[in-house]
Structures are given as structure tokens and as C-alpha cells.
């Protein structure tokens, strides 16, 4: 049994049993992967994948258990390498961050700037996607950190740490009727078409909940994952924008009126997540603290020790988080 064989079966599963795509992603040949998978199955005496002719059709019951353990072993092997690098090259390495557009565009730039200044020899890579894609990237080991508001709680393999609370603003053109009101209620907002985030994206669930509490349904005419796209369509007169408050720039968005909506919707919480099996290098601890200063190394280590999601939540229950 070789680590390479374990990596192959995990990646075949990750690529939906497409051996060609797996071979391409691993820069190797399809016959080579198929041969190594067969050799592993012969050694273990069980089938990991079901087959129809030359095609893989499903992961067997034994295969699911084997792949789960293989993932743990590969994670441990990666952790061993990280331990060695931490002692031999403490200021060198890679950091892969998976996040949403809103975080990448509005929350992370000063953190990234400071991190690069402090660790110029660390190669930093940012991957954008939906919250589900972000979480899955970290679970697969394709990214070190997931930073998002939605979906992270769905993954038991992740340790999630709360970073900050944020709320929303209503953005409209200066000649819009809402721009003239001193205070806006849900009933007023419900009168107009709304342009906002895709469901399951950037705290969208809290927006829907705010309407539901009042027995109303938002008239959503356009959704996007990118806040700048949302603001573009507000400018075109398509509807009233509901966006994260941090995404309104008083200078760049001077043509729009931003109205605080914190009284209408529950605050959302952005979290940073990483695999329970991860070995965090020194620069990774520094990145976390740079993004969320209350997440010191001691606090992060305590969360790692607790591991369980409910226990980690209890750790932060009485902690006052910053608001953005």
C-alpha cells in the first residue's frame, strides 16, 4: 500500500469517478491510475469502485470506508511535511484561501497587504466561489482556509471560528422614493423590486428570514454573487439593492444613497474554517489573527483542542465580536 495509491482513490472519488479528469488534475496518465487502483484492490482483497466494463460506476461500501481512512492518512502525511517545513523554513510556504467575492473585494485587501509585507516568501492564492464550493475546497485539501458567511456549518470536518458580525444597507439611486424617507420598514421595502445576493450567498438567508417574520415575501427580480454587479443593476434602475454594508464605498458609490438596514435584518457572522486534521503553520496563525484580532493563537489552539462544533460555539458565546 502506497500513499500515491491512496491519493489516487481519493482523487478519483473527488472527480466523480472520472479517471481521465483525475489523471489530468494529477498530471499523470489514465492507465497509470487505473493500474494502481487495481493493484490496491488486489492487495486489500476488496473492490473500492464498482465497474461496468471499463467505466467506474460507484464507490462500494468498503470503498467508502477505505477512502475515508485514506483521506485521514493523506492529511496526516501533509501535516508531517508541514511540521518539517515549520522547523526548516518557517517563513516559506503556501497559503490557499477560499472565499466569496464580497470578502475578497471588501474585507480581505488590507489583511492580504499586511500579510504579504510580513511574509514575502509565502505564496498566497485566493479561490473564489459559492460558500458550498469554498467549504468543499477546504474539506478536499485544495484550500487551507474557508472564509464565508453561509454553508460552513454544514461540514463536520471543519473547525469554524467567528470573525465578525455585519449587516446590510439598502442602496438606491438618489431620485428613488426610499431615498427621501427618514426610516424604512420591511413593509416599505416590500413595495419595490429587490436586487440582492443569490440564495445561500453572503447572508442571504437572514434577509429572507427578515421578510418572513413580518409575513411578507421579497419581490426579488435579480440576484448575483458579486456585490459590484448588484450595484450596477441598481444604477440601471432594475430595483432596490440590499447588500453588505461594508460593500458601499462613499466615494466610489457617491451616486447611490446607502440606508442602514440593521434594524430590519438579523446581523450575519463571517467565519473562517479549516480542517480538523490541519497542522497550522506560524504564518497561518498570523493570517487568522490579522483577519480577526480576537482569534489569537491561544484561542485558535483551544478551538482545535475542543474540535466539536457545539463546544467551539460555546467558547465564543460570550465574546464580543467586532462589527463591520
What does the pLDDT look like over 57-75, one tens digit per residue?
999 999 999 998 998 888 8
Same domain for 59 and 195, yes or no, is no
For the chain, the helix, strand and coil percentages under 3-state DSSP, each to the nearest 5: 45, 20, 30
Number of domains forming the structure of the chain: 3
Say what the pTM is.
0.78
**pLDDT at residue 202 is higher than 70:** no
Same domain for 176 and 159, yes or no, is no
pLDDT digit string (tens) for 237-267? 999 999 999 999 999 999 999 999 999 998 8
List residues bridging with 159 in a β-sheet: 274
Same domain for 177 and 50, yes or no, is no
Average pLDDT over residues 71-96: 84
The answer to the question of residue 25 being in a domain is yes
**What are the grid coordinates assigned to 301, written together?**
489552539
Same domain for 276 and 150, yes or no, is yes
Average pLDDT over residues 42-60: 92
Q: What is the CATH number of the domain that holds 62?
A: 1.10.10.10
Cα four-point dihedral sign 252, 258, 262, 265: negative
The answer to the question of residue 321 being in a domain is no
The answer to the question of residue 323 being in a domain is no
**pLDDT at residue 203 is higher than 70:** no
Q: Is 263 helix (H, G, I), strand (E, B) or coil?
A: coil
Domain that holds residue 243: 168-260
**pLDDT at residue 84 is higher than 70:** yes
Same domain for 41 and 185, yes or no, is no
Compute, in degrees rounded to 10, the torsion defined by CA atoms 179, 181, 186, 189.
-30
Same domain for 68 and 97, yes or no, is no
Q: What gap in Å lies between CA 119 and CA 90, rounded to an integer?
A: 10
pLDDT band of 309, cuts 50, 70, 90: confident
Same domain for 201 and 256, yes or no, is yes
Mean pLDDT of the chain, nearest integer: 91
Domain boundary among 217, 232, 260: 260
Amino acid at each position: 500500500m502506497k500513499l500515491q495509491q491512496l491519493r489516487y482513490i481519493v482523487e478519483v472519488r473527488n472527480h466523480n469517478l472520472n479517471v481521465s479528469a483525475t489523471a489530468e488534475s494529477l498530471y499523470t496518465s489514465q492507465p497509470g491510475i487505473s493500474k494502481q487502483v487495481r493493484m490496491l484492490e488486489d492487495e486489500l482483497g476488496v473492490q473500492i469502485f464498482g465497474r461496468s466494463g471499463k467505466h467506474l460506476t460507484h464507490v462500494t461500501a468498503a470503498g467508502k470506508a477505505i477512502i475515508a481512512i485514506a483521506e485521514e492518512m493523506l492529511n496526516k502525511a501533509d501535516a508531517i511535511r508541514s511540521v518539517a517545513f515549520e522547523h526548516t523554513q518557517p517563513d516559506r510556504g503556501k497559503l490557499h484561501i477560499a472565499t466569496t467575492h464580497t470578502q475578497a473585494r471588501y474585507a480581505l485587501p488590507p489583511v492580504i497587504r499586511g500579510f504579504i509585507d510580513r511574509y514575502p516568501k509565502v505564496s498566497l492564492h485566493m479561490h473564489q466561489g459559492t460558500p458550498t464550493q469554498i467549504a468543499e475546497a477546504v474539506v478536499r485539501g485544495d484550500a487551507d482556509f474557508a472564509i464565508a458567511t453561509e454553508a460552513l456549518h454544514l461540514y463536520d470536518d471543519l473547525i469554524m471560528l467567528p470573525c465578525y458580525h455585519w449587516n446590510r444597507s439598502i442602496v438606491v439611486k438618489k431620485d428613488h422614493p426610499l431615498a427621501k424617507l427618514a426610516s424604512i420598514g420591511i413593509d416599505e421595502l416590500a413595495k419595490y423590486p429587490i436586487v440582492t445576493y443569490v440564495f445561500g450567498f453572503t447572508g442571504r438567508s437572514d434577509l429572507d428570514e427578515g421578510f418572513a417574520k413580518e409575513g411578507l415575501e421579497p419581490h426579488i427580480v435579480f440576484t448575483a454573487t458579486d456585490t459590484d454587479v448588484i450595484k450596477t443593476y441598481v444604477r440601471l434602475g432594475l430595483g432596490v439593492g440590499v447588500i453588505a454594508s461594508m460593500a458601499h464605498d462613499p466615494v466610489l458609490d457617491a451616486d447611490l444613497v446607502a440606508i442602514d438596514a440593521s434594524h430590519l435584518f438579523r446581523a450575519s457572522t463571517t467565519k473562517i474554517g479549516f480542517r480538523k486534521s490541519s497542522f497550522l503553520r506560524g504564518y497561518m496563525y498570523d493570517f487568522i489573527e490579522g483577519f480577526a484580532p480576537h482569534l489569537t493563537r491561544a484561542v485558535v489552539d483551544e478551538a482545535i483542542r475542543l474540535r466539536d462544533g457545539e463546544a467551539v460555539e460555546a467558547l465564543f458565546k460570550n465574546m464580543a465580536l467586532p462589527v463591520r
